[in-house]
Amino acid sequence: MIKMPEWQRCLDAQFGSPKPGQYRAQPEDFWVDEQLDFTPEAHGEHLWLRVEKRNQTTLDVVKTLSRLCGVTPRDIGYSGMKDRIAVTRQWLSVHLPGRDAPPELEQSLNALGITVVEQARHPRKLKRGVHRTNRFVLRLSGEAIEGEDFVGRWEALCQHGVPNYFGPQRFGPEGRNLQRAEAILNRGWRKRDDRQGMMLSTARSFLFNELLSARIADGTWSQPLAGDTLMLDGTQSVFRIDVTDATLQTRAAELDVHPTGALWGVGEAGQGDAAGYEARLLEHYPGLCSGLERSGVKQARRSLRMRLLEPQLTWESGAVRLSFALPRGSFATAVLGELMLAN
């Protein structure tokens, strides 16, 4: 059985143990605002609600809206999952063809700690992954910020980018989600055992983190290798290279392109120098790799590096406030993890 967090142990061996730090003393210490790059059209069968919540998951809000609006959870759309212990803002959609929302909806939501910030109609359901970025404002305190090297670590992340790890919340307490995923894949993945596809996502995330850790250990996580698939910064556009050259190295140094790793599934194998890292995953975790392929999930690519967008650092009494945006699917906890690593 795979035990977590193997990829974190790899990081510890490379950089040392994490320094103590606190960043969720209260929900207001972890603020997230989901950013779309379009606005609802003000007409249509779906009511879109931009809500602010505390101490609740996105699925908690879905269940509440389902009950209050008299619809099934399938009639409710959302783009991304947001943290529980945080103050988060995000859009959700409710399918209400030919009728208005219950008149007491906002009041009922307020009583449950959910505030409707704005609302509008739209012709289509909100789909997963359509938001562009998440804006974070985080308060960090403790020993992690006290060393003279803290500002230097922050500036290095701003200049060179951040390893694009999936955060520990993807794997559940003590990695139990990964153990569940391994069990499901070993006996053959079935939709009825994994309605939301979270176990597939957990297994793919673990394999990606392992690949990223290996490339960090080899010093190749931010530089193109022969056979790499590169991603254009700020997009999901990818292209494969046969060889690397000075131009590509310069573009990578300027954060214009990023090497990617496989989100494991059915698809074309890697090539060249980059292929060795995927072959190592297959060698070390054959059960996860073959189980994902048998499930039929299609291979995708994820950038090994993320750029901090509009980063700002502000000192407060005994703490530091960090503000930045990240592309969808990237984890603020990965940023904090880099800042809290000891030398």
Q: What is the pLDDT of residue 19?
A: 65
Confidence of residue 13 (pLDDT cuts 50, 70, 90): very low
- pLDDT of 14 higher than 80: no
Q: Which of 33, 75, 83, 194 is catalytic?
A: 83
Backbone torsions φ then ψ of 145, nearest 5 degrees: -100, 0
Digit-coded pLDDT (tens) for 209-219 = 999 999 999 99
Digit-coded pLDDT (tens) for 138-167 = 999 988 888 888 999 999 999 999 999 998
Backbone torsions φ then ψ of 320, nearest 5 degrees: -130, 140
Which distant-in-sequence residues (6+ apart) come within 8 Å of 128 by Cβ? Answer: 77, 78, 79, 80
193 is catalytic: no
Rounded CA gap, 116 and 89, in Å?
9
DSSP structure class, residue 33: E
Q: What is the pLDDT of residue 253?
A: 96
Q: What is the pLDDT of residue 7?
A: 42
Q: Please tell me whether residue 141 adopts helix, strand or coil conformation.
A: strand
Rounded CA gap, 91 and 109, in Å?
14
Q: What is the pLDDT of residue 340?
A: 84
Rounded CA gap, 162 and 181, in Å?
27
